Amino acid sequence: MKTDCVVQAAPFSGRKQSLIEDARRERSSGSTGSPGPLRDRENFVFEKEEEKEGKAALNVLFTLSNDRNGGFFKIGKIFETFEAKLLHIESRMGRKSKNSTADLEFFMKCEVQNVDLEVFINSLKGVTEDVRSIPEKKVPWFPRQIKDLDRCNMLITKFDPDMDHDHPGYSDPEYRKRRAFISELAFTYKQGDLLPIVEYTAEEVSTWREIYRQLCSIYPNMACKQFLDNLQQLEKECGYGEDSIPQLREVSAFLKERTGFQLRPVAGLLSARDFLNSLAFRVFQCTQYIRHSSSPMHSPEPDCCHELLGHVPMLADKEFAQFSQEIGLASLGASDEDIEKLATVYWFTVEFGLCKQDGAVKAYGAGLLSSSGELAYALSNEPDYKQFNPEEMAVQPYQDQTYQPVYFVAESFEDAKLKLRRYSATIKRPFSVRYDPFTSSIEVLDQPSKLQNVLSQMREDLKILHIALEKLSSS
């Protein structure tokens, strides 16, 4: 059950125009989520939710000569002196022994206070030989369970009408008060709560009606078939229409049955990392406020018109839902540079993507399907078209102040998904991930035993398929 507690919004730094710009600023500021090592393998560690203040993870290699009696006990004394925590130790016969009695090589993982790091290594050099330190490669923290999305709430950008002088609602105190109330619903939401219901005002419904009429008048000739079919179903089952703004609770239940996606309320534009990470769980972060009535055909930020009309109908398509989740899975533990590239791929597909259908180019991107002006422009002869290519998309300059000069056209969602998988495989991560729909959790495939478990599950699935094929052939 939801409570009536009031949670203050976190401070917002800067103004960003898009998910891509969010990723760019995260990268330049070095912000990669909640730091601190969680668990290690090889020379990388996963960052954890709470930083271990002042400590450094260290891999150190050294050689201990048999001529130095008591050398190992001296090493122990060094660890005791600096209160270093030994995490792992291995030893082997030295490869380049100069003496008749073989030296020993040691590999240690340990944790040392940052301020003592240099003196600690120099002390080891005093009692051992060939000391080499290997820095850990930190993997940014990412959610492992769906409840961890409660922590994915970094609103780096907020076009708040209280802060943004260019916002259409800046000079309207009633609108600003209304926005604060709706934002509070998102701030207090926790995974597992019932999605909040918003009782929209007559003015808000009037704004929705104007947008809905305008867009629905051009959808038949410009939107892809999947969008049109699912919009029709939403009108039948979720109250889509001119006279009321659909509620997230009903829409989320509809998506859950169709593709496994669900909605989660959000107060504004999330950081690129947090937003993309959510997609890995088939969770779409969705705003509930609506744009100001003075500017129904333009909003400087995502609002419920953009989400409910642009995104939701496509998330009800199985192939597109899988495509969206693939981007999310690729973002887990990715570097800041790769997050920026994935955000750009998202921009040119999920937001501004085009596809071929029945010999014509149609729109499937939410940024197009929620903007009558850019939708008409994108399907005119003015912009340039390029073939769907994630490698090229990832570095393509984008436009966030006016219409895009170039759009990428997919042959099909299946083709786009396969090309995205090939691109995702080039992202440098020392592990792979797999989503478990039964537990709504992410499994990190970084050990042979985990791979064996996945193979066992695949064998069971193949047995089921084999039995089904036998029954079909015998009927």
Positions marked active-site: 306, 311, 351, 370
Q: Is 436 within 8 Å of 329 (Cβ atoms)?
A: no
Q: Is 248 within 8 Å of 312 (Cβ atoms)?
A: no
φ, ψ for residue 80 (rounded to 5)?
Answer: -65, -40
CA distances from 135 to 41, 60, 139, 192, 249 (A): 13, 9, 13, 40, 47
**Alpha carbons 340 and 317: distance in angstroms, whole number:** 26
Task: Using DSSP bridges, classify how beta strands 432-436 and 283-286 pair: parallel, antiparallel or unpaired.
Answer: unpaired
- H or E element: which one contains 37? strand 37-41
Other C-beta atoms lying within 10 Å of the C-beta of residue 454: 14
Q: Which amino acid is at 389?
A: N
**Alpha carbons 355 and 246: distance in angstroms, whole number:** 27
- H or E element: which one contains 445? strand 441-445
Q: Computed from CA positions of residues 11, 138, 151, 17, in that sequence, does the dihedral angle turn out positive or negative?
A: positive
Which of 222, 231, 224, 226 lies closest to 378 in space, CA to CA?
A: 222
Helices 318-331 and 272-279 pack at an angle, to 10 degrees, of: 130
- H or E element: which one contains 362? strand 360-363
Q: Is 93 within 8 Å of 31 (Cβ atoms)?
A: no
Q: What is the DSSP letter of 426?
A: T
Three-state SS at 354? strand
Which of 172, 196, 170, 173 lies closest to 184 in space, CA to CA?
A: 196
Angle, vertex CA 405, rays to CA 314 and CA 272, nearest 5: 50
| Bridge partner list, 137 | 44
**Alpha carbons 136 and 46: distance in angstroms, whole number:** 10
**Alpha carbons 335 and 340: distance in angstroms, whole number:** 9
